[in-house]
Chain A
């Protein structure tokens, strides 16, 4: 590489830079500016400095949305990891018709969000819906999922896990297939059981990819709008409102651009911290 600045690659990057500049960078700067002002859709109000941010500190909606975002991320990462790893282990074994099952397990991930939500709303629609029929079999009374705070949250968590575990499964399966087979042969010679091989060979070998996947999934979950919005709209009474839904409600329903932008910017800072941690990790591993 010559030391002088080569302008030719810049020409190739130009369309991309223009698009990202227009759709991401300019709005990022403008959005930060909005968060420093009072204002509505039609007119920017007076400069408040950090005023919107200090208002947030005393806003119950904000703390609730932040807490919900964190719990949403934790349950989703844990749920996807357990389900994804379980199915990846099964798929890594010798199974007839593996290509068919691969597609079958990817289906919840590839179908559009609106399709998964319509299908799930039927599953929990009323006392005679499939999930309630299943509960009846084990002697549990019908649950009206979307009218109770806690059950609405459970439904949002479950549908989110259902929609996103396939990505975890696919990536962990690739990780499993990359483990050196001689490691298992060595433990077999040492007389290790299958469980010991799993704990002392499989899990340590999956450690790096697991950390990366969990951070990535945390970011995507905090960023999710569609799952809670389409299932519950954030309700009942904001029980399933995360930071993104709160920002959306303040801007597009309450016409409070300042607070909505401040919530979005706080979300941006949280996600950026996670993204930087992720990039550091990937760089350190080479």
Chain B
């Protein structure tokens, strides 16, 4: 709380925080270490640490399973749904930022309610209709649903970015003869580059990490996303701990890497627009 406290006090706190951080992250640390050990060693060795690090689990994962295919499926679905979310959320976020009428305000509140909606209720009719339309095992079913489900937080994030851009800029564009859409696309959106990137990354992460919706619609190995594929491994190779740990570790890498780009944006917790639904 106060600067310039005696050194031993700070050292003690550092020790305490390190110990707590290590304890809390123990499952992740073991996962990482075990992904570099063969399953035989994991089961036989009394030690919790690898004796001789090996890549055999990753070789198995990439060469002998459909993991790489899952990866491409995940990236395609995450990118496509991010495009859908960003376009719809940017336009709606601009409306919420510039008009405070009853209609826009009511819609903004409804979006918050959507974030608390039990998605299972929507999945039942959607599954039945998508089945009739032949869209089970099609990435497009999942892309549309993700595009909508991630709208609330994306729209609220856009709104707060647009709020920080002075209205005078829009008005100058309007005087110049650009319409509202011109003002938005030529002035406001280009000024929100970093904000748009942040929304896109959060939206990508939300899609990439998602399991429930993907598991309902994507049941064929050719179209599965990574989480659905890894869950299938969990059932098929229940005792192949080395392989499972490698799959989980590889799955977490893109999440972690992308999160590092946007972690400063979660600084204030986003009570209004939590990242996870």
Contacts and interface: CB of A to CB of B under 8 A. Distances in A.
B252 A275 contact: no
A224 to B, nearest CB: 9
Interface string A76-112: 0000000000010011111111000111111111111
Contacts of A116: 27
Nearest to A99: B263
Interface string A98-130: 000111111111111111111111110100001
A114 B211 contact: yes
Interface stretch (A8-16, A47-55, A59-67): A8-16
A41 B128 contact: yes
A19 interface: yes
A230 B255 CA distance: 19
A174 interface: yes
A216 interface: yes
A120 B20 CA distance: 17
A152 B126 CA distance: 32
A234 interface: no
B211 A125 contact: no
A113 B209 contact: yes
A19 B144 contact: yes
B31 A118 contact: yes
B113 A275 contact: yes
A138 interface: no
A118 B247 contact: yes
B273 to A, nearest CB: 11
Contacts of B34: 122
Given A24-B122, A121-B234, A247-B120, A15 B259 contact: no
A26 interface: yes
Contacts of A74: none
A13 B95 contact: yes
A101 B20 CA distance: 10
Interface stretch (B55-63, B101-109, B164-172): B101-109
B112 to A, nearest CB: 7
Contacts of A212: 271
A223 B26 contact: no
A1 B100 contact: yes
A271 B118 CA distance: 8
A107 B256 CA distance: 8
A23 B121 CA distance: 10
Contacts of A23: 122, 126, 144-145, 147-149
A144 interface: no
B99 to A, nearest CB: 4
| Size category of the binding interface on chain A | 35 or more
Interface in B222-241: 226-227, 230-231, 234, 241
Interface of B: 1-3, 5, 10, 13-14, 16-17, 20-21, 24-28, 30-31, 34, 48, 84, 87-89, 91-92, 94-95, 98-101, 103-104, 107, 109-114, 116-128, 131, 144-145, 147-149, 151, 155, 180-181, 184, 205, 208-212, 216, 226-227, 230-231, 234, 241, 244-245, 247-249, 251-252, 255-256, 259-260, 263, 266-272, 274, 276-277
Interface of A: 1, 5-6, 8-17, 19-20, 22-24, 26-28, 30-31, 34, 41, 87, 90-97, 101-123, 125, 130, 133, 162, 167, 170-171, 173-174, 184, 209, 212-213, 216, 219-220, 222-223, 225-226, 229-230, 244, 247-248, 251-252, 257, 260-261, 264-265, 267-268, 271-272, 274-275, 278-279, 282
- Closest A-B pairs by Cβ, 8 of them: A171-B269, A23-B148, A12-B95, A27-B122, A112-B209, A16-B92, A119-B27, A264-B121
17 contacts: A9-B101, A12-B180, A20-B148, A24-B117, A24-B148, A34-B124, A90-B13, A92-B1, A94-B1, A94-B13, A102-B263, A108-B28, A115-B251, A118-B234, A226-B211, A247-B124, A252-B127
Given A107-B256, A119-B248, A230-B231, 9 more contacts: A16-B91, A19-B147, A20-B110, A24-B148, A118-B245, A122-B245, A130-B26, A167-B274, A268-B117
